[in-house]
Chains A and B, each alone.
Chain A
Amino acid sequence: MPERKRRLVTRRLSEMLREVQQKRNTAEDESTLPANGAGNETYHYDKLKQMPLSASLAQNIAVLKRIFVDSPGFNVREFLVAGKIPVAAVFVKGMVDTLLVSANILRPLMHYTRDEPVPQGKGLLEIVQFAGITTVPVRTRDTIGEIVRDVLEGGVVLLLDQESRALSAEVTGFQTRSIEEPVSESVVRGPREGFTESLAHGLSLVQRRLKSPNLAVENHFLGRETHTQVSVLYIKGLVNPEHLAELNRRLKRIGDNIDGVLESSYIEEMIADRPLSPFPQALNTERPDRVVAALLEGRIAILLENTPFALVVPFEFQALMHASEDYYQNYWFATAIRILRYVALTIALIGPAVYVAITTFHQEMLPEVLLFQVVAARQGIPFPAVIEMLLIDYAFELLREAGIRLPRPVGQAVSIVGALVIGQAAIQAGLTSPLAVIVVAVTGIASFVVPVFSMAFTLRLIRFPLTILGGMLGLYGVIAGVLAIVIHMAGLRTLGLPYLGGVTPLHVSDLKDSVVRFPWWAMRGRPHELSKRNRQRQTPDLKPRPESRK
């Protein structure tokens, strides 16, 4: 570039910038925002959405700078399109990929070299949008509120002079975890992908498994401050519209009335049918395949930003006892495993309670050899059986909790010390009987067999009052407690779907996927209560039959 031309450009640029500077100074006074001291105002989307962009670049910049005055990483990059027309790119550093911004926005615009002249005002936006920037999604925006949101979500907003619209380009570039195997639901056979904290990943994982135009999404933005995107996924034609409408109504109720939604549990608690119940009322999962399976049954999935845990509603209690791997393994085996899980559920719930009840109320229930072992083991134990059981159970929970929060190597050390050293020492010191330790250990292991963790928590919680009841009234107390739980569960609903659905109200075809799992060719219908309109999952007569034998 010749020296003369360069000097010319430099002078022209500095003139223009001065011009812009002046305009901005005047604009700041005309700002429509209340002027009660910069940096102290709080803003709300609803209010900002009402605020249109002005046609003046300088004023728009001023407004945004005011809004974002103390925001971390807020940047306004001013530059000239084709070397003459001033434009400002607004973004938050750290939310955008700066390389992408420079390559796809700044470079093509600044080096704009097409033949037709770039207009100063009208028409500029279209040229920038259609012939200028090269990022994939580009949208026009015309209120301050939209711009603020785009910027905060990792977009770059281009403000043009003499134009009351802005262009928003999506170039999010923050760091996300890559897709990994889900930790809480690992499988031996089956897909190993889990959701990550990125909603975009999540949606793509679901969509990859469900290449159907019937897959629909409805977005909600929840949380006054966090403004978390919540995607409600369902399959058109399979979902029960009443469930969908009810869910949307409940999500709208949350809306901006809560300040933040950081994890799906926030939603789970806010949409529960019975807010006081200890039972999980939304099924959470990290597994996209599980979500898709639920969608195919006519359920609704809720995916959230910033958490790998998706929610599935509505669901029945038995879904809490199913793992996605059940459907990938041989169905005989899967059935055996499910029976095992129900046994584990029973043990985890009433194991200690029954032990206490039998050893302190119903000694006659034990055959004499076993009874004398119990009696011999309990010689000289200073605590009554119920107290002993509660203490050991509590100690077990203590160890488990300590093991979870600690870094993995330390956690292992804790569990070794706890399980081996304390347990052994307590028995040798005559503080507890080995039987009680065995019972608690089996109970603890059993509670880990329950595949959905939130259900395991519930079990562990209910176990303690049941143990106390068992210690007070024997088996009568235990059964009264269990009945109370059954009554409670019979009254529970998720989005209006009975919690004990399949069993009561009874639908025999639903029992094909309950304690047992029928082979796929035999499971013709979708869950009865869910999909009243579209019952058939597959055509009948799919049972494989070798041709030769016909």
Chain B
Amino acid sequence: MAGNGRTRFCLFIIALLVIGGSMGGCWDKKEAEDLGYVRATALNSAPDGKVHLLAQVPNPATLGGAGTARITPGASQDAKAYRNFEAEGSTVFEAIRQLALQAPRRLFWAQNTLVIFSEGLTRQGIAPHLDFFERSMEIRRRLNHVLVTPNDPRVLLDVPAPHETIPAGRIERIIDQEQQTSRFAIVTLSAFLRMLSTEGQDAYCGVVRVRNNPARPALVQQANAPEPTLTIELSGAAAFRGDRFAGYLTERETQGLQWARNEIRGGFVTVPSPSGSGRVTLDILRGKGRMIPAIQDGRLLVTIEITGVVAELAQAEAPLDLTRPEVLHTLDHALAREIEQEVIAAANKSQDLGADVLGVGAAFHRKFPREWREMKDNWPEIFPTVEITARAEATIHRTGFIQKGITIKD
């Protein structure tokens, strides 16, 4: 069945040679402990057109249960849970290789989850730097989030992180909480690249800021682990025009943007109470956004339709009588109006900035491919003139555990 003896022998010898030959190699072997796992990468502009790179690498010896119990030679008690390596280079990759001059480990980018650009760099254009992140075989584009910071990344990535060992981990966990607020944009590297390359669509991404810590107590002399002076906050979105920074969106505008982009997974809306006094805050559960472009007498119209919004009554400042359905209907209506206003706010801001982060152009491209061909070259000029309207429908499905709310006796 399997050849004669000699050929078999030949095969065997070849197999031995291949196996033996590769034994001497193990070219790609890299022991897990010899790698430095970069968790966050921050890029800043540097003089002479260079780029400044910061890579945050956790110190595994201080993480992990088994490791902490063991004595690692040289690891003193003040071992920080992470180290930030910094270097400058004319390209990102050059800077990365510059890091190798300081880092005792081979830096490994597969676990990287944050790509942070400083505002200064984004004003100069980030296309040249993005190429590296798109090309790299190590970087997981879907698992990386793109953020812009107005602060110095060096400060940002050194703010002490409560509940997390390293600042990068803290930012990731905050991103995980996005659906509670919808007040900042979460954009993966993959989505960011996709927006950059789609016709009639400008890119946007989340914003991370350093703030003074409001939780800092008056008693600074507290000896036992004082509250740090600075804290990190994610809020709003950064809009791009092409690959350049165009401006920030406020938290409310960001929520409007996400409605329009159909990326709402939660959030909250506060509306005036139908009872006349106080406000009502609603917790959004889900909702769908759709963009309907139209061309009427040469005018470009876009209706942003928000449908199927389901919310839960989270808090009412003044008692509401929910035994009457019309109260809830009034509330539904108020919620829909507020959503519409959020969307319009986002649209107005993006038109002011001249950054089509809503993807209005892309919507025209899909529906009117022929007309688009004429528009697309002067889209930046056309975009601010597009008439954008919003239409929302919302229902409040749940009201919590009470129907009426307490009435405070006089």
Contacts and interface: CB of A to CB of B under 8 A. Distances in A.
Q: Do A and B touch, yes or no (CB under 8 Å, in the complex)?
A: yes
A278 interface: no
A433 B66 CA distance: 9
Contact of B67 (A377, A386, A474): A377
A373 B67 contact: yes
B64 interface: yes
A511 to B, nearest CB: 27
Interface in A342-373: 359-361, 363-364, 368, 371-373
A378 B33 CA distance: 6
Given A376-B66, A377-B64, A472-B22, A363 B108 contact: yes
A470 B190 CA distance: 31
A363 B72 contact: no
Contacts of B83: none
Contacts of B134: none
Contact of B111 (A371, A380, A381, A385): A371
A337 interface: no
B67 A371 contact: no
Given A368-B37, A372-B58, A359 B31 contact: yes
A385 B138 CA distance: 21
A374 B31 CA distance: 10
Nearest to B73: A380
Interface of B: 1-2, 19, 22-23, 25-26, 28-33, 35, 37, 39, 58, 60-61, 63-68, 70, 72-73, 108, 110-111, 138, 140
A515 B1 CA distance: 30
Contacts of A433: 66
A471 B24 CA distance: 11
Contacts of A434: 66
A491 B108 contact: no
Given A372-B58, A472-B26, A491-B1, 10 more contacts: A361-B30, A363-B111, A371-B37, A373-B64, A375-B67, A380-B72, A385-B32, A472-B22, A472-B25, A472-B29
B138 A364 contact: yes
A469 B19 CA distance: 8
A379 interface: yes
21 contacts: A360-B31, A361-B29, A363-B30, A363-B37, A363-B108, A371-B37, A372-B63, A375-B32, A375-B33, A376-B61, A376-B63, A376-B64, A377-B64, A378-B32, A379-B61, A380-B72, A381-B33, A385-B32, A468-B23, A472-B22, A474-B28
A373 B37 contact: no
A471 B33 contact: no
Given A472-B25, A491-B1, A364 B110 contact: yes
A430 B32 contact: no
B1 to A, nearest CB: 7
A385 to B, nearest CB: 6
Contacts of A360: 29-32
B31 A385 contact: yes
Given A372-B64, A491-B1, A379 B28 contact: no
Interface of A: 359-361, 363-364, 368, 371-381, 384-386, 430, 433-435, 468-469, 471-474, 491
A497 to B, nearest CB: 15
A371 B35 CA distance: 11
Contact of B60 (A359, A361, A372, A381): A372
A42 B138 CA distance: 76
Chain B interface mostly helix, strand, loop or mixed?
loop
B32 A359 contact: yes
Given A360-B29, A384-B29, A379 B22 contact: no
Given A363-B30, A364-B138, A375 B25 contact: no
Contacts of A473: 22, 28
Contacts of A435: 66
B18 to A, nearest CB: 10
A472 B28 CA distance: 8
A196 B53 CA distance: 76
B67 A376 contact: yes
Nearest to A378: B33
A347 to B, nearest CB: 20
A434 B63 CA distance: 16
B141 to A, nearest CB: 13
B24 to A, nearest CB: 10
A377 B66 contact: yes
B73 A374 contact: no
Contacts of A372: 37, 58, 60, 63-64, 67
Contacts of B33: 375, 378-379, 381
A361 B67 contact: no
Contacts of B39: 368
A384 B31 contact: yes
B201 to A, nearest CB: 30
A379 B60 CA distance: 8
A373 B19 CA distance: 32
A471 to B, nearest CB: 7
Nearest to B63: A372
Given A363-B108, A368-B37, A373-B65, A472 B32 contact: no
A471 B108 contact: no
Nearest to B105: A375
A523 B73 CA distance: 64
B136 to A, nearest CB: 12
Nearest to A358: B32
Nearest to A363: B32
B396 to A, nearest CB: 38
Contacts of A377: 64, 66-67
B26 A374 contact: no
A381 B31 CA distance: 11
Contacts of A384: 29, 31
Contact of A364 (B23, B68, B73, B111): B111
Contacts of B108: 363-364
Given A373-B66, A378-B32, A384-B31, A363 B110 contact: yes
A372 B63 CA distance: 7
B28 A361 contact: yes
Contacts of B70: 379-380, 430
A81 B102 CA distance: 108
Contacts of A386: 29
Nearest to B26: A472
B64 A375 contact: yes
B258 to A, nearest CB: 27
Contacts of A385: 31-32
A378 B64 CA distance: 11
A371 B63 CA distance: 10
Contacts of B30: 360-361, 363
A363 B1 CA distance: 42
A471 B138 CA distance: 20
A359 B111 CA distance: 14
Contacts of A491: 1-2
Given A360-B29, A371-B32, A385-B31, A376 B60 contact: yes
A399 to B, nearest CB: 23
Contacts of A469: 19
